[in-house]
Amino acid sequence: MQMEEFLARAETLPLRDYDVLVTLEMAENGTLRMNELADRVVYSRSGLTRLVDRLSHEGLVRRERCGKDRRGIYCVLTEKGRAARVAAGPYMLHAIHHVFGQHFSVKETESFFQMMQRIQSAANEPIPLP
């Protein structure tokens, strides 16, 4: 709530928009299938569809049909979307620092970063059967 209020006062992207745009920016060619995007940003399919509709209307993303599977839809980051994400970046970093970062030492932050890297690596491995 604190971050959303700050971002609204700063008149920059809401957190959910930023989340989608940065996730697309990190993807190969700024493109993900809608179902992959929903999984990565942890939104319901219907919630993401409404959000992408709005982002598309604003010109921040566009939809494209999948070449091989005509039923699939890609969500593609536009240059306008990339520019909006870049412009919002400093506000997002400021908000993250205020809400989270200022409460940890450099050593604690480095330890946390290392733990998160291990978790990310493990998340890509299959879960073994018991």
d(CA 128, CA 62): 38
53 in a domain, yes or no?
yes
35-74 tens-digit pLDDT: 899 989 988 888 999 999 999 999 999 999 887 777 789 9
- The answer as to whether 93 is a domain residue is yes
Residue 60 lies in a domain: yes
The CATH code of the domain that includes 87 is 1.10.10.10
- Domain housing 95: 2-123
pLDDT in tens, 86-123: 999 999 999 988 888 889 998 998 999 899 999 988 88
Which one-letter amino acid corresponds to residue 82?
R
Residue 76 lies in a domain: yes
Residue 128 lies in a domain: no
Residues 6+ apart with CB under 8 A from 82: 21, 25, 30
CA–CA gap between residue 54 and residue 32 (Å, rounded)? 17
Inside any domain, residue 130: no
DSSP 8-class letter at 33: E
* Closest-CA residue to 81 (of 42, 2, 118, 26): 26
Please give the average per-residue pLDDT across 20-41, as a whole number.
93
Whether 92 is covered by a domain: the verdict is yes
Residue 31 pairs with which residues in a beta bridge?
A: 76
Q: How many structural domains comprise the chain?
A: 1
* Order of strands across the sheet that contains 61-65: 31-33, 73-77, 61-65
Put simply, whether the predicted model's pTM sits higher than 0.85 gets the answer no
78 lies in some domain? yes
